[in-house]
Structure 1
Amino acid sequence: MVTKYIGLLTKKNILNGIDNVSTDKAAAEVYTLEGVKLNKQVNELPKGIYIVNGKKMVVK
């Protein structure tokens, strides 16, 4: 029995790493998923999912 394989080879851009990460020292608005505003910095939060400046963020 002969098995045929037909494939497509493509060139992809591969991300090797991240060089610089800039952070903003301004206070961020942090909310729980229930909408409760927290008066903490992002680096002080326990693990979980939060809304930071209007965007979902996962703290691991």
Structure 2
Amino acid sequence: MAKYSQAASNKVGEVLHEQKEGKLKSGTGRKVTSRKQAIAIGLSEARKEGAKVPEKQD
């Protein structure tokens, strides 16, 4: 199984909290309702911040 850093885990947690409150927006500006999409956004943001996150899978 892939290893994720604690920083990545924290970022995903923050994003999921935002999504639950209804404040999380996608790149197009629409509200995110899917939990899977919220996790993907969190991992993407963690990657940009330099956290240890495995490469995207196609």
Structure 1 or 2: larger strand share?
1
- Asked which structure has the greater CA Rg, the reply is 1
Question: Which structure is higher in helix share?
Answer: 2
User: TM-score normalised to the size of structure 2?
Assistant: 0.26
Q: Which has the higher contact order (CA 8 A, sep 6+)?
A: 2
